Every structure is written in C-alpha cells, then in structure tokens.
Amino acid sequence: MPLADPSLAATLPQFQSTPLDQIPTIIDTARSAFHSGRTRPLEFRINQLQKLYYGLCDIEATAISAMSADLGRAHFETSFADINYTKSELISMIKNMKTWLADENVSEGIPWYLRWSHQTYLKKDPLGVVLLIGAWNYPWNLNLVPLFGAIAAGNTCILKPSEISPHSAATLEKLFEISGMDKECYRVIQGAVPETTLVLKQQFDKICYTGNGAVGKIVARAAAEFLTPVILELGGKNPVIIAPSANIPVAAKRIAWAKSLNSGQSCVAPDYLVIPRSLETAFITEFSKVLNSFYPTGLRNSPDYSRFVNDRHFNRVHEILKTTSGEVKIGGEIIDPKDRLMEMTLISLGHVSEGKWETDSLMQEEIFGPPLAYIVYDDNNLASAVDVVRKMSDTSLGAYVFAEKKAEQDLVLNNTRSGGFCVNEAFVNSIIAGLPFGGVGQSGTGKYRGKWSILSFVHLRSVVVNNGGWVDWLIGFRFPPFLESNYKVLKMAVPSPGFSRPKK
C-alpha cells in the first residue's frame, strides 16, 4: 500500500534511543534479578507471558499502523505474518511450556551396577540473561517469538529491536509497558550502532540475532569474547527449482505469493528460480496472470503491496536491477523512489551452460526485494539445476522444489542443503510453529519456534542421584585397591556388541 501519511506517524509511539549510560545498569539489573531466583517459578513465567498476550491484543491496531508507517505494508500481511502468527505462537507456548520444561528421565546407557540405586534425568535449567536482537522486516514475529521461548525457559531478557523500523520498535517498547512486564527482568533497549555496540560489550548467557550476515559476524565475534553461545538467523539466496513434472499454475501462484509478501523483504522469500527449458514460456505466462489477479487495479494503488523500508534499501536493489545483464520478461517499469515502490520483476539470466548468471548483479547477494531472476536448464538434466544451487547458495535459509514426481522431489531434497525445505510450496516452512526455524552454514546457526525455543534457551543439565548407600558392596569394584576381581566385574560392565566383525 502507499506509504502512510506523515500525520499517522505523529500519533504513534515515538522512537527514542536508550541513553548510553543507562545500558550497563539495565543489563546488570537483569542479571541481579535472575540470580534472585525471581524467574525460576513456572507460575511467574506463565503470568508474564499471559500479560504479554493481552498486551498484544490491546496494542494490535497500533502495531498495524506502525508497520504501515514503517513499510507501507498491507494490513492483511501484518496480521497474517506478524501479529496473528505471533499470538498463536504465544498461546501454544503458554499451553505447552509445562510439558516442554518437564524433567526427562534417562534410562539408556546406565551401567548395570548403577540401575538399582541411581536416578538419572535431564533438568532444563535457565541460562541466565538472554539478549535478543531483532529484525525490522517482521518486527513482531522476529522479535517476540524467540523472546517467548527465552521467558518460558526462565531467563531474564534484553530485547534490542531494529531501529530501521522505528515506529514498530517504539511500539514494541510500549507493549512491555502496557503489559505490565517485570521491568527488572525484561527490558527493551533502543538505538542504532552506538547503542548496539555498547550492548555487545556486556556479558550475556545467550544471544539471538536476526539479520544479515555482515552484522551476524560482528555479533558472533562479540559473543566469542565471553564464550557466549549464539543463535544467528541470517537469510541468504533461497533457490526455487522447478522440475520438469511441476504443475506450473500452482508453482507460479505460490512463488508469486512468497516473493510479493512484504515486497520481497523476507529472509525466506524465493531469491532466484531454476526452470526447465520446456516450461519457461508457460511459467512466464502464468506468473504474469497471477500478478494481474493479485493486483487487478495495479501495484501503485493496491492496498496489498508493500513498499521498501527506507531509501537505502530501495536504492541498493534498484542499483542491482539497473546493472543486470539479464532480459526483463515481466515488469521492470514501475520504479518510484519517492514512494519506495518497485514492481515485481521477472528476469531471465539465460541457459545454465552460458555461465553469465554466475557474475550477474542479481546473483551476487541476497536480493531482499521484488526482482526475481531465473536460469534455464535442459529438461533431462535436473542435476544441473542442483549444481546451480550448490554453486550460488549451498546453505540457504530456505530451498524449494516444485515437482509432481517423487523421484524429482527426492533428488533435490537429498542433494541440497538449507535451513528449511518445501515441496510444492515456498515460505510456509517458516510459519509452522511445530517445526524449528533456523539456518545452516552461511544462513545461520541454532533454531527456535515452539518447543525448540525452550531447548535453545535452557541448559540441559545432566543429573545423577544416588539414593542408596547400601549398594557400595555392589559398586565397590571401582574403589582401590584394584584386584583381579575388580577387573572381572569391570569386563561385565561392557555390553555385547550384537553385531559381527565386518568382512571388509
């Protein structure tokens, strides 16, 4: 939708950086609150999350307006991908966290001489103080969903939203205020580079960062100074392989939806396509039909098409589009810097054998915008499409294949690497709470969502309890002096392998 009238922004919570001299104190206070044991009781955690839920309900209209002011985002998109998903995730966390946090008895691997007297289990201990550095493109989803897990796990938390979507960042801080969150345990720190730099000089027990790889490396280096573990969700060039057996109308519609959502500013959006020669023309035709059906009155006046978040991001993608050597097949005409509007643009980079796609501007970095490049391959050589993916984005955050034949689906799935994967879909792997969300390799490390948020923000503490002093006669062989009888008992402790010696 067109960028919001400036008068709307004046009615929203206003962004204000946290004073630098307050930042160390805020973090020290969170650490003291953790050590006080305040977040240990499950009832306290549930109460805080319930407050957040109703705070979200109360501030929802403001949150939608904030996204309109920041991104010109369609109201439905904000509700679908940010607010409603976030509320659903929170409800699930509150309902299931007691089960997910329960101790887990361990029976495997216990030596026979300890089974009668020793209890073994895993205790899910909170880590301490968690820092969450969120993203601007889905500020509610990507800031709050990992926060829910960190709170449920019993940690105190510092949230640092992105200043790039300032109205949303300010509204997130307002959410904490109206929800009545414990101010010593959970705080929002606002700011840009100076504030973030100072935050990263403090010690945390885990850091979760969502954003680009360049900043991800800065976060990882800062965390390494304290040996702090990290979750890094970094995105990348997500490939779509269209196999010869693909249903083209279905593929075109789902790819267009996944790419147009938030105007392509999604870490799991399709970045480029690899298309068999025989389906190229059909795909172009169907893709054009789909876009016309999505935006029947045109992009400029559509309330359902988002804008770029700022001039810098618009100019970066515009420069990529201006310098491509590819052939524009659809779009490429509606480019309005004043409105930060760029239409969906489909660009051919030729046949895989030509090789020009390797050096084209569209293939050098994650696009994070509406342009969508494609490369053609021969129908009888699906493996060449996989080779393109391996060369350009070997460890992307998402990877997608459209194929009706199981053999083609399996070939792509088993010969590529990615954080998540979809067959005959795109994007949706990132909005299913029962699946962990995270990258691999260059697209990140660690995961969260649902029970995986719990597991990511707790320490699995191995606990052994010996309840019987009477059994020392049975386990006494471990104590000196070591006689022949000790060795006989020791040999009994090793189980039979249950398999024969391999012949080769």
Half-sphere exposure of 442 (CA within 13 A, CB side): 13
Residue 482, CA distances (Å) to 105, 478, 488 in order: 33, 8, 11
| 8-state DSSP, 359 | T
Strand 270-276 and strand 238-242: the pairing is parallel
Residue 481, preceding peptide bond in cis (omega within 30° of 0): yes
Angle at 207 between CA 202 and CA 213, to 5 degrees: 110
- Specify whether 57 is catalytic: no
* 157 tagged catalytic: no
What's the alpha-carbon Rg for the chain, to the nearest Å?
Answer: 26
Beta carbons of 275 and 283 less than 8 angstroms apart = yes
Which two structure tokens, joined as six digits, stand for 466? 């010996």
- Convert 180-246 into a string of H (helix), E (strand) and C (coil): CCCCCCEEECCCCHHHHHHHHCCCCCEEEEECCHHHHHHHHHHHHCCCCCEEEECCCCEEEEECCCC
Given 173, 233, 366, 408, which residue is catalytic?
233
The interaxial angle of helices 42-71 and 166-179, nearest 10 deg, is: 150
Which tokens is 187 given?
């705080």
Token pair of 77, please? 């998109």
| Tokens 């209209």 sit on residue | 61
Closest CA to 67 of 261, 337, 314: 261
SS (H, E, C) 263-314: HHCCCCCEEEEEEEHHHHHHHHHHHHHHHHHHCCCCCCCCCCCCCCCCHHHH
Alpha-carbon span 47 to 128, nearest angstrom: 19
Q: Token match 């004046």: residue?
A: 10
What is the rounded distance in angstroms from the CA atom of residue 220 to the CA atom of residue 230? 7
> Active site residue: 173, 267, 286, 343, which one?
267
Q: State CA 477 to chain mean position distance.
A: 51
* Active site amino acids: 233, 267
